[in-house]
Amino acid sequence: MSDFGGQTGGSAGIRNVADGDDAPLRGFTGSEAGRFRAPRSALRVPSSGPAPHRTRSRLEFQVFRLGLVSCFGLWASCFPAAAAGRTVDTGYPGGNIVLEGITNGVAVVRPDLRDTQKGGWWFYWNFRVRGAAGETVRIRFPERNPIGARGPAASLDGGTNWAWLGAQAVTRIAEPKAWEFAFAVPSNAPEVRFSMTIPYQESDLRRFLERHRGNPAIVREGLCRTTKGREAEILRAGCLGREPGIRVLLTARHHACESLASFALEGILESVLADDEAGRAWRERVEVLAIPFVDKDGVEDGDQGKNRAPRDHNRDYDGTPVHATVAAIRDLVPRWSAGRLRFALDLHCPYLAGGDSNEQVYFPGPEDAIAAERLAGFAALLAEVRRGPIPYSPKYNVPFGTSWNTASNYSTGRSFARWARDLPGVEFSNTIEIPYANAGGAEVNADSARAFGRDLARAIAIHLGLVPRPAR
Ligand SMILES: [Zn+2]
């Protein structure tokens, strides 16, 4: 391993790190110290909570040296943060990391692929560092880069609010190949969480529902017990007091790590509940059924969830279902629909970054020509009526037979969108991909993804004839 900590320049240096208080950086030399550019407002340290741990630089990461294990929950309980050094753990919903070791104070980590089909790789990670107030933490991912278009996301308030640290926070190391970022923890921050995404857990859903508490137009119910004994939720919203004319089905998190999709789902539901013409039309005529966490266990356990062994949740829609939640969806939806389901949308996030479409919102096109034509119509409508910060153009859609969207991609099983398309009365059933961090140059975050969800709801409302299409 290279002596990374001893280098003071060249490509291996850390370029853009500083804390939020303009203080000099410990552990960095000369011009290598840059600026931490995440919005300060989004990275506020909560005023209540435990006092910052006193730290001593010589003890930094001391617990790492006590023996490296990959189970951080166990590790954290054996060596709590009170051990006077920095601690890393994943002992909270969504946590995921494997610690490879410590090199000159740099934590070398990898995504934990425990749920993934053999030989597969994916990029989800999410972990916490405690006991580093006023210190700089340095994190290195060897071999493959699991950091997206706007760098890592960080939270200083226990995972409620997050900000992207920016692509400039990440340094590529040539030999041995690695990607590294550093973060100067504010002196009043007892902990910081880092993730490749802006996570969305059950606790976030509870906060959303709390904001709408007492509203009779949205109810939370149980879908089923998951394989691990959790309750998977369904949300029903809109026209609930009587038989609706139209039903709409929304799903998210077939792939556990695709968390930005969940903020878009919130945005759609906000529109259904809104005190405006479209909101009233939704509640007058449409019942929405939303399944916020299809892979509920994966979301809470911190699995990445894509190409899960033995079967991906989004390939579990033929044959005997492997997953309890998918079995429950396949049982419930046809009965609930009663022939009135018109529109089904499965919300996803694409690959981490790069490529032709991973930094654009897009729909993978269906194989069926009529379904493809209907998608084209909806895509044009969405492009026309969207108002939020996230752009959308149909030209980034991935037609069937191109890129990854080919028959071989579905050889292991049927997807949700294909399954729902064949239900009686369904006119539209598709998947949408909402990027993790960068969409057509716009920042994707909790707020902008919610705004995009409201844009989707506007297009759906027009598509269903709830409100007129605006004059051009
Ligand atoms: Zn997905």
- Per-residue pLDDT tens for 2-13? 222 222 222 222
CB atoms within 10 A of CB 347: 26
Task: Give the C-alpha separation, 53 to 138, whole Å.
Answer: 18
On the question of pLDDT at 81 being above 60, the answer is no
For ligand 1, the distance from its centroid to the CA atom of residue 421, given in whole angstroms, is 18
The hierarchical CATH code for the domain 202-463 is 3.40.630.10
Cα distances from 152 to residues 38, 126, 164, in angstroms, run 10, 10, 6
Question: According to the model, what pLDDT value does residue 102 have?
Answer: 83
Q: Report which of 75, 157, 165, 150 is spatially closest to residue 112, judged by C-alpha positions.
A: 75
Architecture of domain 4-195 in this structure: Sandwich (2.60)
For ligand 1, the distance from its centroid to the CA atom of residue 349, given in whole angstroms, is 5
Share of the chain above pLDDT 90, in %: 80
Q: Residue type for 452, please?
A: F
Q: Report which of 266, 212, 228 is spatially closest to residue 447, judged by C-alpha positions.
A: 266
Q: Report which of 248, 150, 295, 143 is spatially closest to residue 465, judged by C-alpha positions.
A: 248
Chain centroid to Cα 405, Å, comes to: 21
For ligand 1, the distance from its centroid to the CA atom of residue 254, given in whole angstroms, is 6
For ligand 1, the distance from its centroid to the CA atom of residue 155, given in whole angstroms, is 24
For ligand 1, the distance from its centroid to the CA atom of residue 218, given in whole angstroms, is 26
Q: Report which of 435, 13, 2 is spatially closest to residue 258, judged by C-alpha positions.
A: 435
The tokens of 78 are what? 């054996």
Question: According to the model, what pLDDT value does residue 103 have?
Answer: 84
The tokens of 409 are what? 């991609």
For ligand 1, the distance from its centroid to the CA atom of residue 372, given in whole angstroms, is 20
Burial class (CB in 10 A: 0-12, 13-18, 19+), 209: middle
For ligand 1, the distance from its centroid to the CA atom of residue 255, given in whole angstroms, is 5
For ligand 1, the distance from its centroid to the CA atom of residue 347, given in whole angstroms, is 8
For ligand 1, the distance from its centroid to the CA atom of residue 101, given in whole angstroms, is 31
Report whether the peptide linkage leading into residue 39 is cis, meaning its omega lies within 30 degrees of zero.
Answer: no
Q: Report which of 325, 317, 314, 292 is spatially closest to residue 226, judged by C-alpha positions.
A: 325
Question: According to the model, what pLDDT value does residue 42 have?
Answer: 55
Domain spans, the chain: 4-195, 202-463
Share of the chain above pLDDT 70, in %: 82
Mean pLDDT of the region 400-425: 95
For ligand 1, the distance from its centroid to the CA atom of residue 258, given in whole angstroms, is 6
Q: Report which of 420, 127, 389 is spatially closest to residue 267, judged by C-alpha positions.
A: 389
For ligand 1, the distance from its centroid to the CA atom of residue 306, given in whole angstroms, is 7
**Is residue 328 within 8 Å of 321, Cβ to Cβ?**
no
On the question of pLDDT at 304 being above 60, the answer is yes
On the question of pLDDT at 234 being above 70, the answer is yes
DSSP 8-class letter at 62:
G
For ligand 1, the distance from its centroid to the CA atom of residue 465, given in whole angstroms, is 29
**Is residue 443 within 8 Å of 356, Cβ to Cβ?**
no
pLDDT tens digits for 237-279? Answer: 999 999 999 999 999 999 999 999 999 999 999 999 999 999 9
Task: Give the C-alpha separation, 212 to 232, whole Å.
Answer: 19
The tokens of 156 are what? 């200083």
**Is residue 250 within 8 Å of 348, Cβ to Cβ?**
no
Q: Report which of 304, 355, 341 is spatially closest to residue 416, judged by C-alpha positions.
A: 341
The tokens of 158 are what? 């226990």
pTM greater than 0.95 (yes/no): no
For ligand 1, the distance from its centroid to the CA atom of residue 435, given in whole angstroms, is 11
CB atoms within 10 A of CB 187: 15
Q: What is the mean pLDDT of the chain?
A: 86
For ligand 1, the distance from its centroid to the CA atom of residue 253, given in whole angstroms, is 7
**Is residue 180 within 8 Å of 152, Cβ to Cβ?**
no
